[in-house]
Structure 1
Amino acid sequence: MAGAPGSEGAPETKTSALRAADEAALHRVASRRARQKVQRTARVDVRYSVEEKREITAEARRLGLAGAHFVGAVLMAHLHGDHGLPGGRTPVDDLVDELAALRTQVARIGTNVNQIAHRLNAGGDPRPGDGGLLAEAGRILVLARQAATAIDATADMAASTGRSD
């Protein structure tokens, strides 16, 4: 959709924020799998196709987990009736992850506007219109800071009130 606001060469991010939340949730919950006082020694042998094994190990590696740990966390979630992952995952966790992804996007906007303002201020003699652009850049920076602060406060409040422990 050329010419639409926000489409100046930027990739579509409608699903990337959701993916960021899913990824953060998967890593956080899978890495919380409870340690036991004695090493787990019981085994269940499972056979995968070469492609299935590659996908499992790639996902585990991407999350910084051992393949067995990753498979174990997902399997135990299924056995306990949770189609997500174990560890008390709640809608609040999803909200906090979405807010974190949004906070990153707002911070990037602020960084880009700051770079524009710096470029305009770096030149020798100002060109016609530079004053208006600098004023608008300053206004947008204030709005980006306010948005980031509001997102941080909302995420903090959601995390604080959403805890059950």
Structure 2
Amino acid sequence: MHADTAADAAVESLPRAADVAALHRVARRRKPDPNGQRKKRVDARYSDEEKAAILAKARSLNISGAHYVAVVTLAHVHGDLTVPGQRTQLDDYIDELNALRRDVAFIGHNVNQIAKKLNSGGHPRPGDSDLLAQTDRTLGSVGEAVRHIAAAANQAVSYKAVQ
């Protein structure tokens, strides 16, 4: 393992301060039951490692494991947290950018076919040189648009990777 890879793995394993603070706020927000006691249960099964991780996190927040599981679950139910692997608005944005890039690139392909046809020889017709010049400008604009869309998609993917 390279030193850079080990350092990257160590940094990735550390929780972000904002995430810890947000989780702590969520854990503290649970309001007491108006009747003084919660009576309904939902059972879940965990491996020994999962249970240990849940209890360790709960202890770090100074709350019980049951309270921790309840507030995290309810936060997700209310849209405050996402489950790993769950699609987010950022995922939708990245997909939209990729679809847009594909569509704009297809326009460029069509314009390129027009230019190929105009350049295929034969006798030029009046206006062909103007049309070729416009085609060249359009291809340049399409290429620039595709590069900008790709850059935006890459930036969104990079942003998602650090979350």
Q: TM-score range by the shorter chain?
A: 0.3 to 0.5
Higher helix share: 2
If the length of structure 1 is used for normalisation, what is the TM-score? 0.47
Determine which structure has greater relative contact order: mean sequence separation of CA pairs < 8 Å that are 6+ residues apart, divided by chain length: 1
User: Which is higher, the Rg of structure 1 or of structure 2?
Assistant: 2
